[in-house]
A = this chain, B = another copy of it.
Amino acid sequence: MPETQRRPESRYGNRPTMKDVAARAGVGLKTVSRVVNGEPGVTPETERRVQEAIDALGFRRNDSARVLRKGSTASIGLVLEDLADPFYGPLSRAVEEVARAHGALLINGSSAEDPDREQELALALCARRVDGLVVIPAGDDHRYLEPEIKAGVATVFVDRPAGQIDADCVLSDNFGGAREGVTHLVSHGHRRIGFIGDMPRIHTAAERLRGYRAAMEDAGIPVEDAWMSLGATDPLRVRRAAEEMLSGPAPVTAIFSGNNRVTVTVIRVLAERARPVALVAFDDLELADLLQPGVTVVAQDAAALGRTAAERLFGQLDGTLITPERIELPTRLVTRGSGELPPAD
């Protein structure tokens, strides 16, 4: 009997298969499959023999083969922006919990804010035939996912909407939250209010800026360019921006900070100043209540974002949810002191 094929190079020391188990137990292949999957139609005695062989050989079912045969992987993919960002921890955790409740595994990776990497990652997950995809977009063109979606991969976008395609997305009410936060400052007497945010090409940043403008307009305050910083969020630039708007003849008396990375730097700058400056920040921070003064924030519910997205995903898979929707979750203003400081004019 000539060996026409060599076993391919494998990192595994040739693990036992069902065939091996069957041979050892002296039963047929399918009987082993039945035992492994707890299917009925096997006498206790046979089952015992099979189980013994399984234990003796250290057999474990090869899910790749199973997936190939069955067509469904019972796993979903999560593409997030940065695993190390504390905002995404609870979100990711919530997605995992829902997946687990549906018997699915979670595969995830970070795009590091790089659209190419997002695409590469999302498509790699599709190649693994995940049942669905939760994506926190880094890029703004997601047409590359169209064939996948058409082929049946459930897809939900979180935190930022999908670009160029019609898909489910779950967002925070960035506009409303920012508007509420800035209005809060106005109601405490502030008129010269600064805004430090991320680049407006990022949807959340643009929405928050829009909220800021709306609140100012509501209050009948014309916004001056010098009050806004919309660049990158590295500490150095944020610091410079904050210091600039706090100096000059008519400095701002309050700052609205557009995200948690910005906030950390702004707090540092404000801590160095003698004159108190009010602060409301988008995104909550751990220990924010222990600072002096406590930091008033517009808090998003990261866990709810993740949970809602994952549930919609499984809704799509069940066939219950068909029409793409855009869901906005409310934010919550948490007053802790920094946002209630009066203007120090």
Contacts and interface: CB of A to CB of B under 8 A. Distances in A.
A129 to B, nearest CB: 6
A195 to B, nearest CB: 22
B105 A151 contact: no
B71 A68 contact: no
Interface residues of A, number: 68
B60 A148 contact: yes
Q: How many protomers of this protein does the assembly include?
A: 2
Contacts of A123: 60
A147 B60 contact: yes
Interface stretch (A78-86, A221-229, A321-329): A78-86
B93 A84 contact: yes
A11 interface: yes
A147 B148 CA distance: 37
A8 B286 contact: no
A96 interface: yes
A33 interface: no
Contact of A128 (B64, B82, B96): B64
A179 B69 CA distance: 56
A84 B73 contact: no
Nearest to A59: B147
Contacts of A147: 58, 60
A10 interface: yes
B70 A68 contact: no
